[in-house]
Amino acid sequence: MSHPNAVFDLAVNRADTYLRSLPPLSSQRNLLEWHSRTRFVSRIALGVIVQALEGRPEGLVHWEGGEKGGWVQGKARFP
């Protein structure tokens, strides 16, 4: 699916923030609900977002570079 890199980055970063606010055992079901009700995110396959989240390193990082991007040290420019 084609979408701007910034939209993908925002989706991954917001999903990461959302998941970190939840108890670990409830994350998959809640992520599915979040994906379906978040308008701009629903255009991106949930599996692609989950794949990006699975590679998240420890520390203060954010996703950058679209689907072919990766985790970068520091805070994202957009929350």
Which helix (H) or strand (E) covers residue 48, if one does? Answer: helix 46-54
Residue pLDDT, tens place only, 51-69: 999 999 999 999 999 999 9
What pLDDT is recorded for position 44? 92
Residue pLDDT, tens place only, 6-62: 999 999 999 999 988 887 767 777 888 889 888 888 889 999 999 999 999 999 999
- What is the C-alpha to C-alpha distance for residues 72 and 62, in angstroms, rounded to an integer? 5
> Residue 39 falls within a domain, yes or no?
yes
> Residue 79 falls within a domain, yes or no?
no
Domain containing 21: what range?
5-73
Structural domain count of the chain? 1
What pLDDT is recorded for position 2? 64
C-alpha distances in Å from residue 40, one per residue of 9, 17, 25: 12, 16, 26
